[in-house]
A and B are shown apart, each in its own frame.
Chain A
């Protein structure tokens, strides 16, 4: 094994059995290696330094599906929990609440096969979204990159519907689970299944589910399974036709952009009112034009201005300190991408339609730099938050256009109501970012309450290890419940109130299915514990008064009639 062997948290026999599968160079129980590998990113900030996250007991790095099967079977045999990880960014998939977890790290499993003609890719879990995009753009194909960043694993992103989204999904189906045509799945107990196109065994990904019932549905779950339902070791995903001209990167560091060819153009448009912007968005969707449609909040625009060698935080805050509720209320920005998929004339035609819509709604096209920093490779939301020096408490929703507009209004109301003043960025009641998917049939909104991260300081004598998570959960819980009560939108903050089990046909009935699947496939509960019960586990550690607050919120939410519009 690499480093200093340590069997304090894992039985030596189990570790030796794992070593026998992968060899001595791809396994470690060393405390430094495990400590450095654990709880990165958001999870480290929120849970790790909050005192909740534990270091892994062991890291094991398989190279093949057969090795993964072996590892999972060993873990079951010794009743040792395991957690599959790749990029370690996402908060729900990283922290460990137990000291005996084996991290299965897919760093060595990064093969990609592309079928240009039939427009699909077969990927292993170590392949990231940016890597896949790099492989396929030269073949005139493209995929989305999720907002969390091009560092994310393609497979991890596709098995979690709320994570697998990006603005390039505008013309495609944003439900990532629908875009996988086949999976090779190692069940929680170590059985190997092939589903969809891969069931045939002839290694092509064209047929999606093929004959028989759709088994890919097993991969679904609110926010994905977070490693709580075995491991997908290969996935077939659909790719989409792009235009043939090359995207050429240029520039250094914070000034790097992808220079856009003539057939790819961004348009920044300002409107005088939010209503006019929303109406223009709806008309763009009706006309079925454009490649991405975003409502851009003012703070995004200010972040984008931070460049050069002056420190970004002071640059941002100099700009943001000048904003007031009045200036924000007067700024309504729509950012639209058009791609001439078939020809330059295609782009020109859509541009004319767009300009008609803009003109009819009183909008003004602004000068727009024809380079792209993040859409095609590198959206990088986490870094964006940290540019401002804050942690982003993010929630969001994925609903009908009407629901999303109401959701945004409710959100800014609740930020005021709960007086998120001191440690939060003043938002001036600004509506958040939202974008359209499936040509506007659904919209996604992502709302941020930005708190001051440095207050979570473990060297501060007043530091309370549980304060960060409690704060987060309290904020999310309150907001999420209020929004559900307010308009029935399925808010992502729901993951924080999921423990209260809003069970009814109108609410999150899927929790029942998750329970049933989990019990059936993972009777020992060794696959990614505490997933899918992460929030229950955290909630159980909260003070009784906060637990009661959640229960009361649940009761209030459940007592409300369904506010959504099924006909939408």
Chain B
């Protein structure tokens, strides 16, 4: 007797994930790092909200249990604790990469859809998300600052073309707050003799709206931005911020339902390009930086950055899918290029933390948690810094503006914090 086939798609509709929610086999892939990498009790967990709260509800497996209850009418979305469970989550994809080591489940899509459903029904986002969301809508940047000040990051020494094949998408934080990262990125592009343009009125990428479940607002921004970027004529869009990078490369296609290869341009993180240029001899890191560093993989550059591939089909006996689909397991994230770039800098000694590559611990500055749960965000960053300290590194290096910001605010005991662009710019500078 053949089971009746279910029509399903990879969507942001929670109803599509009952099967996912029901069929987690019980292994704690959402909580532990790949067990082959476990070195003991300490640093063996991958899920910050679960480790902070120590309750299953805050991990993906527990959420699966709740989602089954919600979708089968045994629990109501209005239950007070549910909002906390939905939004005290970094949406960092750790559970997704963990479960996909052996399975074809989609916990990240389930969590994103759960948030979206909560927002749809009026139980989200959190009140603390509203000011940021309003800023994005009103001023096109998350800080509510005047867009005219967006180019304030650019030092006079940097050459920016009016028209070029390469567009540098700076991002809100690097434009207004962590401007040293934008300046460093521009210097690297100049050093590699790559003409690039920027959008003087660059809008927010919409990452914050998407990740806090505000899909209707995000959709509008995604559509507008896509049009703007395509109209710029850029063949390659370069990002220094991993959040912007993943949003444009993955979430635009995901929400608007097309494959990443149909973006109309190539989305590249600066670390991918520096690695390529160094290997080609186009960029020469000649200045010595004597430092022992450890690299913290940004979630959005590593496990979550694989291209989006839409899928629609049916599920039949034994859960078999027709047609077969590709599963974004985090295998093809950007892990090697930043490491190879750092190793190419004379004097840099790169050491790994226990949790690296797809097992990396999130920085804590993600998913709207920094605003809604600042203590939890700081704790998450402190845990990463504690891990970094055990390697004997003098500095923690990341490749995301958000990571640098939160590490810098949580760093103690002399641990230095750098964005990778800062070290590269120093190494290639005159």
Chain A residues close to B by CB (< 8 Å): 2-4, 26, 28, 30-33, 35-45, 48-49, 59, 61, 87-89, 105, 107-108, 110-112, 127-128, 130-131, 133-135, 138, 149-151, 249, 252-258, 308-314, 317, 373, 376-378, 380, 382-390, 422-423, 425, 452-459
Contacts and interface: CB of A to CB of B under 8 A. Distances in A.
Contact of B65 (A4, A44, A309, A389): A44
A131 B40 contact: yes
Given A255-B331, A454-B23, A108 B324 contact: no
B19 interface: yes
B46 interface: no
B29 A383 contact: yes
A452 B79 contact: no
5 cross-chain pairs, A with B, having the tightest CB-CB distances, nearest first: A41-B26, A36-B62, A389-B319, A36-B57, A383-B102
Interface stretch (B67-75, B370-378, B388-396, B397-405): B67-75
A457 B332 CA distance: 34
11 contacts: A28-B55, A32-B79, A36-B85, A41-B26, A249-B36, A249-B37, A255-B331, A382-B25, A452-B3, A454-B3, A454-B315
A377 B102 contact: no
B100 interface: yes
Given A308-B331, A317-B320, A459-B18, A377 B25 contact: no
Given A131-B38, A452-B317, A310 B55 contact: no
A59 to B, nearest CB: 7
Interface of B: 1, 3, 18-19, 22-29, 32, 34-41, 44, 54-57, 61-63, 65-66, 68-69, 71-72, 75, 79-82, 85, 97, 100-104, 306, 315, 317-321, 324-333, 335, 357-358
Nearest to A150: B35
A130 B81 CA distance: 33
Given A111-B41, A454-B19, A454-B317, 16 more contacts: A31-B81, A40-B61, A45-B23, A89-B26, A107-B54, A108-B54, A110-B41, A130-B32, A130-B35, A135-B41, A151-B32, A249-B37, A253-B101, A258-B36, A312-B103, A452-B3
B34 A35 contact: no
B427 to A, nearest CB: 27
B85 A32 contact: yes
A40 B56 contact: yes
A338 B85 CA distance: 48
A389 B69 contact: no
Contacts, number: 229
A308 B243 CA distance: 25
A36 B56 contact: yes
A460 to B, nearest CB: 8
Nearest to B56: A37
B318 A311 contact: no
Given A382-B27, A390-B318, A112 B97 contact: no
B63 A36 contact: yes
Contacts of A373: 36
Contacts of A256: 34, 36-37, 101
B329 A459 contact: no
B316 to A, nearest CB: 9
Contacts of A149: 27, 35
B101 A254 contact: yes
Given A130-B35, A253-B329, A312-B103, A459 B320 contact: no
Given A33-B57, A36-B57, A131 B41 contact: yes
Which of A28, A128, A313, A455 has the most chain B CB within a 10 Å cutoff? A313
A453 B81 CA distance: 31
A310 B57 contact: no
B1 A422 contact: yes
B40 to A, nearest CB: 4
Which of A253, A256, A310, A385 has the most chain B CB within a 10 Å cutoff? A253
Contacts of A110: 41
Contacts of B320: 313-314, 317, 389
Contacts of B71: 459
Contacts of B357: 252
B104 A313 contact: yes
A150 B23 contact: no
Contacts of B32: 128, 130, 151
Which of B27, B71, B332 has the most chain A CB within a 10 Å cutoff? B27
A311 B65 contact: no
B306 to A, nearest CB: 8
Which of B26, B63, B85, B326 has the most chain A CB within a 10 Å cutoff? B26
B44 A134 contact: yes
Contacts of A389: 318-320
A440 to B, nearest CB: 28
B36 A378 contact: yes
Contacts of A2: 55
Contacts of B66: 32, 35-36
B85 A309 contact: no
A98 to B, nearest CB: 18
A308 B69 CA distance: 33
B38 A309 contact: no
Contact of A134 (B40, B332, B335): B40
A308 B61 CA distance: 23
Contacts of B325: 310-311
Nearest to A425: B318
Contacts of B331: 252-255, 308-309
B27 A317 contact: no
Contacts of A384: 102
A431 B305 CA distance: 43
B26 A59 contact: no
A254 B328 CA distance: 12
A377 B319 CA distance: 28
A313 B40 contact: no
Contacts of B80: 3-4
A88 B22 contact: no
B75 A88 contact: no
Contacts of B40: 112, 131, 134-135
Contacts of A127: 41
